[in-house]
Amino acid sequence: MKAATLNRWFGRGWLSLGFLFLYLPIVALVVFSFNDSAVPNVWRGFTFKWYVALASDVELQAGLWLSLKIAFMTACGSVVLGTMAAFALVKYKRFFGRTWFSGMVNAPLVMPEVVVGLSLLLMLVSVQRALGFPERGMMTIWLGHLLLGMAYAAVIVQARLSDLNPQLEEAAMDLGARPHQVFWLVTLPLIGQSLVSAWLLTFTLSLDDVVLSAFLSGPGSTTMPLVIFSRARLGLNPSVNAVATLIIVVVSIGVLLASYLIARAERQRLADQAAAVRG
């Protein structure tokens, strides 16, 4: 009994320390965004001036707008391509080149971004030399992010798809649904929440990416992470803390809200299913 109590407290302590480690930098970012000093790691007093300064920071605003556009397109494209890839891997166990396909779907997850960025850029340069387009800019950054986002989306959707009860789809087919009806009316609602998670994750990934964007951006297409990175490289900068705080607040609210809605929809679905079973 004694050992079990000790074990429980050790467990709680380890978890608490772990969470402290994970959250300390985030807390520090937020705290020092209100710090009245140009050196944002020693407390000098409370101020809002770094937030006021953001309002006139044209470079950062332009970067933010560009990043949001790219992130939105990346999230939409990644979910579509990722869902297709996940379907191909879960539903079709045999097709030409499946091993290659599965390897290529997972590879961008772990491939160093410098390698992916460099290789995509060198290809785009070769194409540009031959055909005269594309110019480096928003679309080329989007392409890079899409490659990465697709891999993440595929993994998330794949996990959900392989957990699905195949009997639900079979039942729909037995009742005369066409394959596309089965997809839109049965499968899609069942995997809906994983699509939402995949969309949100790829959105934040794209909003955060430095390396791919640096390789694939052209003159005049500087995304927000590139602006932040070039400032952070030079040293500590309170404007970065202020932006960070705003991003953290928005993302946390978004993620918490989304997960609350997903959980509610899931409960509703289970209740509906139970009601349907009772008849």
Partner 1 sequence: MDRLLRPLTALFTGRALVISVPFLFLCVFFLLPFLIVGKISVSEMETVSFKDVLTYKDGALTLALKFSNYVFITEDALYFKTYLASLRYAAATTLLCLFIGYPFAYFMARAKSSVQPALLMLVMLPFWTSFLLRVYAWRGLLTEGGWVADLIVGMGLDQVLYALGLISTPGKLMHTPFSLVLGMTYTYLPFMILPLYSTLAKMDLRLLEAAADLGATPWTAFWKITVPLSKAGIIAGSMLVFIPCVGEFVIPELLGGPETLMIGRVLWDEFFSNNDWPMASSVAVVMVLLIIVPLALFNKYQAEAQERPQGARK
User: 260 to each of 151, 193, 267, how far by Cα in Å?
Assistant: 25, 11, 11
Q: Least distance (Å) from partner 1 to the CB of residue 148?
A: 10
Stretch binding partner 1 (CB under 8 A), from 9-17, 53-61, 68-76, 185-193? 9-17
Helix/strand/coil for 38: coil
Among the listed residues 5, 46, 56, 95, the single contact to partner 1 using CB under 8 A: 95
Shortest distance in whole angstroms from residue 15 CB to partner 1: 5
User: Is the Cβ of residue 115 or residue 270 nearer to partner 1 in the bound state?
Assistant: 115
Using DSSP, state whether 46 is helix, strand or coil.
strand
Toward partner 1, which CB reaches closer, 23 or 48?
23
Nearest approach in angstroms of CB 97 to partner 1 is: 7
CB closer to partner 1, 110 vs 275: 110
DSSP 34: T
Q: What are phi and psi of 137, to 5 degrees?
A: 170, -145
Shortest Cβ 279–partner 1 spacing (Å): 27
Residue 60 has a CB neighbour count (10 Å cut-off) of 20
Binding status of residue 29 toward partner 1 by CB under 8 A: yes
Q: What is the DSSP letter of 35?
A: B
What are the tokens at 272? 């509906």
What is the nearest approach in angstroms of partner 1 to the Cβ of residue 278? 25
- Please report, as residue ranges, which positions from 209 to 268 form the binding site for partner 1 (by CB under 8 A): 210-211, 214-215, 225, 228-229, 232-233, 235-236, 240-241, 243-244, 247-248, 251-252, 255, 259
Write down the least CB distance from residue 81 to partner 1, Å: 5
Instruction: Select from 50-58, 86-94, 168-176, 265-273 the region that touches partner 1 (CB under 8 A).
Output: 86-94
Best CA proximity match to 90, nearest among 157, 152, 6: 157
38 forms part of the interface with partner 1 (CB under 8 A): no
**Residues in 184-213 at the binding interface with partner 1, rule: CB under 8 A:** 200-201, 204, 207-208, 210-211
Instruction: Check binding of 71 to partner 1 (CB under 8 A).
Output: no
Torsion, Cα 230 234 239 243, to 10 degrees, reads 40
Considering only residues 96 to 155 of the shown chain, the ones binding partner 1 according to CB under 8 A are: 97, 101-116, 118-120, 122-123, 126, 129, 143, 146-147, 150, 154
Token representation of residue 179: 């394959």
Q: CB neighbours (10 Å) of residue 77?
A: 20
Smallest separation (angstroms) from partner 1 to the CB of 175: 19
The CA–CA distances, whole Å, from 98 to 93, 95, 103, 156, 234 equal 8, 6, 8, 19, 46
How far apart CA 90 and CA 92 sit, in angstroms, is 6
- Report the 10 Å Cβ neighbour count for 207: 21
